[in-house]
Amino acid sequence: MKNVVVVGSQWGDEGKGKIVDWLSSEADVVVRFQGGHNAGHTLVIDKKVFKLRLLPSGIVRDGKVSILGNGVVIDPWALLDEIKEIKKQGINVTPDNFMISESASLILPFHQEMDEIREDAAGKGKIGTTRRGIGPCYEDKVGRRSIRIMDLRSEKNLANRLENVLLHHNAIRKGLKKKIFKKDELKKKLLKIAPEILKFAQPVWLKIDEFKKDRKKILFEGAQGILLDVDHGTYPFVTSSNTVPAMAATGSGTGPNEINYVLGITKAYTTRVGSGPFPTELKDKIGETLGKRGNEFGTVTARKRRCGWFDGVLVRQTIKIAGIDGIALTKLDVLDELDEIKVCVGYDLNGKILEYLPAASDEQFNIKPIYKSFPGWKANTQGIRNIVDLPKNAKKYIYSLEDFIGAKICSISTSPERDDTILIEDPFRS
C-alpha cells in the first residue's frame, strides 16, 4: 500500500486534473491540501467535461472519498455552487463521499474585495491573482483572526470571531474610503448556509488516520505548481500557500512518513498565467500555436496562458526542491506539428552562465535562456497508449528530457481523455 502526492512541477496548469482522475481509479481517498477555488482542474471523461475548482478530482468517481484538508481556504458560497453544478452533471456529493476539515479557513466577501482593491491599485506591479480572495484569507489565517468551518457551529462564537476579523478589515477599509462590513449582516448570511456546509465537516486528521489503519490508498492532490510556492516560487509572483509535496502532510493532518511517492505533473512545454518572470516565453507564432493547440485558457478565469519552450532548468530545480520521484509528462501531442523543438538547458545572466533560477526577482526577469534544439516528429501522437507507437523523434525528445531533469518519466499523456495515457511506471506499485 502506497500513498501518493501529485504536484505541478511548473507554474500550474500542467494537467493535474486528468492525471489525478486517472490515478484515482486505484486510490480510495483523494485529498486536496492547499489553495482555494483559484485552482481549476478540467477532467474529460467519455467526452464529458467536468470543470472543478474546489472539489477534489476523485469526486467524479464512484466509491471514492474526497476531502478538503485544513490547508485549503474555502469560499462557502462558491463551494455550494460548485456542488450544485456537478450534481446537475450526474455526480452525487454526500457526507459519505465528501468531507471538509473543520479547521479549514473561510474566504469571506471582504477577502475578495481586498484582493481586487490591491490588484487594481498595483498598476504595473500586479501579481496577477485570480481575485478570489485567497491571499487575504491566508493572511487572516496566519494573523490568527480567520473564521473557520468549526466557528459556524456556534452563533455566539461566530459573532465573536467576526468582531475580531472585522476590527482589522474595517480599519483598513475606512482608510481606503471603502464601505465597512456589518457584523450582523455577515453573520446572518453565514448562519443561513451553515447547515449545508457543516454536514460535510469532520476532524479530517482523524478520518485520514482511520483510512490509514484500514490500509486505504490515499492520493494527495496539489493545486497550482511548485514555481508558485510562496517560499520556493518566483516570489512575489506566487500564490499564497505552499504548493510543495511537504504541504500534503501539514495541510491534511498526517505525518510526512505517510507519503510514499511524489509524482510531478509536467507539461511537455511551459505555460504561465498572470504576471511574473518567464524565461522561455514565446511571443511569436510558435507561442500562439502552442496556446491554440493546447487550448491554453484558465479553467477558473478563462485567462489566456502565456506559452513557451520546455524549461529543463526550472523543472530540474523543482524536482530537487519537492523530492519528486517520477514525472507524468502531459500534452505531448501539442508539439506534433512543430519542425523544431527547443529545451532550455541553462541561463545567461549578463554573461554569467547559471544552472538554476536565481532567487532575486530582477535577475529572474533579466536571465536569457540557453537552448538545445531537437527535430520535431511531424506526426500525430494524439491518443497513443503505448510508448513503442510514438514517433522516433518524440521518443528521443522524451528520453532527453528525462536525462536532463534527473527524474524518471513514468507516464505520458497524449490527449485530455482519461485513457489516452502511456503508463511506464505505476506510482502506487513502484
**Residues annotated as catalytic (active site), given as ranges:** 13, 41
Alpha-carbon gap, residue 343 to 227, rounded angstroms: 18
Buried b (16+ CB within 10 A) or exposed e, 53-83: bbbbbbbbbeebbbbbbbbbbbbbbbbeebb
Query: Using CB atoms within 10 A of its CB, is residue 143 exposed (0-12), middle (13-18) or buried (19+)?
Result: exposed
Assigned C-alpha cell, 121: 491599485
Q: Read off the DSSP letter of residue 88.
A: H
- Cis-peptide into 236, omega within 30 deg: yes
Alpha-carbon gap, residue 68 to 72, rounded angstroms: 6
Contact partners, residue 140, CB within 8 Å, separation at least 6: 105, 111, 146, 165, 168
Can you point out the beta strands (E) in 170-227?
Answer: 201-202, 218-221
CB atoms within 10 A of CB 87: 11
Assess contact for 242 and 229: CB atoms under 8 A. Answer: yes
Question: What's the Cα-to-Cα distance from 339 to each of 66, 266, 399, rounded to whole Å?
Answer: 43, 22, 18
Assess contact for 268 and 332: CB atoms under 8 A. Answer: yes
The cell 486517472 sits on which residue?
A: 22
Tell me how far apart the 2 most distant CA atoms of the chain are, in Å.
Answer: 67
